[in-house]
Amino acid sequence: MNFSKLDAFFKQLPMCGIPGCELAITYQGESVYRAAAGFADAKQTRPASENDLYYVFSISKISTCVAAMQLVEKGVIALDDPVSKYLPAFAHLTVKNGAGKPVPAKNAMTVLHLFTMTGGLNYNCDTAPLLRARMEPDADTLRIVNAMAKVPLEFEPGTKFLYSLCHDVLAAVVEVASGMRFADYVQTHIFDPLGMKDTGYHLPEALLPRMADLYKSRHCVPVADPIELWNNYTFTDRYDSGGAGLYSSTPDQIRLLTALANGGKTADGYSLLRPETVREMGVNRLSDEVLPSFFPSRLFGYGWGLCGRAHQNPTLSLSRSSIGEFGWDGAAGAFGLADPEKQIALYFAMHSKGCQYAYQVVHPILRNLAYEAIEDL
């Protein structure tokens, strides 16, 4: 394997408005590339390293989908179950009509709609029902998610794709179906068995010194400015955001992605998911009618499956990954993929919000250079 081209590109990223970053790649369950570049702090006194922690934001969705698929695999949850089976507050939803006024929804929201972001929810975290719920003394995951049911849907469930709070609702379904607090379920069934010791939903004060500084990128300028170290999706100490709540490390995230890339099994034999379940996660679930509402320009050739984006057309995507490769990214620029066909996993960590250069350029280049190096045996 020759990673020289990837290495040269990666090490230049701090000059492109990405103050600090890490990259980990595994192939057939073995680590083949680990690197860090830049600094973890704005004063440039801490070189970036695998000891650093980050808010991974929407990378959290991968763990949430794995948790939910474990329960699907066991028959505890079915994809076609109505969400109201677990969360009765979702039994009588409203949807905006052509004039923007709420009317009763005709379609029931299902668990599959939550996985595929077709539930009709949006990502407005400041609606009146949510703000009221967040102020209540017992504002836990279920109470806040139930408040989401009071907000009119953007469209009938199943008719369009809209990136939204669907995976936060999915976390609440897992909580009810499992009988465990969502954070406890994920800790017990994913983080602990995989040895993910630096991952969780509520950052302990003792870990603050290990957190990388958080930045905000300037538009069209390779500069990032330090901002307050805060996860705006951690609404309360009792709310476990399945969509964006995690802090984590690069070693922890690559462990999870490596297990998914290797048929759901870890090197020491723990079965996270069955191989056939993992393959199903990378299958596009959006119909031809819904798919056009998904496409942002950076994801042509991809659909959306049961764990984020799902690769389906290399001619359009220009991706060297297999059909069925899946994963997602985060609001501060993190990027993860699992390729069960080629047994490749990749995780890229950074901590700068609004960096379009990362999504549009860095992620696809790192992905393709990684595949080029691995396939150049």
- The model's confidence at residue 99, banded by pLDDT at 50, 70 and 90, is confident
> Is-contact 87 166, C-beta < 8 A?
no
Which helix H or strand E contains 125, and what residues bound it? none
| pLDDT per residue as tens digits for the range 181-202 | 999 999 999 999 999 999 999 9
Cβ neighbour number for residue 110 with a 10 Å cutoff: 21
Sheet holding 224-227, edge to edge: 224-227, 214-217, 352-353
Strand 224-227 and strand 214-217: pairing?
Answer: antiparallel
Structure-block tokens of residue 372: 């080029």
> Is-contact 354 220, C-beta < 8 A?
no
Radius of gyration of the chain measured on its C-alpha atoms: 20
CA 52 – CA 212 distance, rounded (Å): 6
Angle, helices 141-148/166-178, rounded to nearest 10 degrees:
130
Cβ neighbour number for residue 92 with a 10 Å cutoff: 10
pLDDT score for 84: 98
Mean pLDDT score, 310-329: 96
Mean pLDDT score, 1-10: 96
CA 164 – CA 130 distance, rounded (Å): 14
Structure-block tokens of residue 102: 């709420």
Strand 94-96 and strand 344-350: pairing?
Answer: unpaired
- Nearest to residue 164, comparing CAs of 69, 243, 236? 243
pLDDT score for 373: 96
Structure-block tokens of residue 74: 């066991």
| pLDDT per residue as tens digits for the range 209-245 | 999 999 999 876 788 999 999 999 999 999 999 999 9
- The model's confidence at residue 376, banded by pLDDT at 50, 70 and 90, is confident
Place of tokens 């609004």: 354
pTM over 0.85: yes
Vertex 284, ends 281 and 286: CA angle to 5°? 125
- The model's confidence at residue 377, banded by pLDDT at 50, 70 and 90, is low
CA 177 – CA 180 distance, rounded (Å): 8
- The model's confidence at residue 114, banded by pLDDT at 50, 70 and 90, is very high
Sign of CA dihedral 278, 282, 286, 288: negative
> Is-contact 142 168, C-beta < 8 A?
no
| pLDDT per residue as tens digits for the range 323-338 | 999 999 999 999 999 9
Mean pLDDT score, 8-24: 96
Distance in Å from the first CA to the final CA of the chain: 5
Structure-block tokens of residue 148: 């989401």
CA 366 – CA 371 distance, rounded (Å): 9
**Taking the CA of residue 150 as centre, how many other CA atoms within 13 Å lie in the half-sphere pointing to its CB?**
14
Domain 4-51+211-220+246-375, architecture per CATH: 3-Layer(aba) Sandwich (3.40)
CA 212 – CA 226 distance, rounded (Å): 11
Per-residue pLDDT for 26 more than 70?
A: yes
Query: Cα-Cα-Cα-Cα dihedral of 222, 228, 232, 234, to 10°?
Result: 130
Which helix H or strand E contains 61, and what residues bound it? helix 60-73
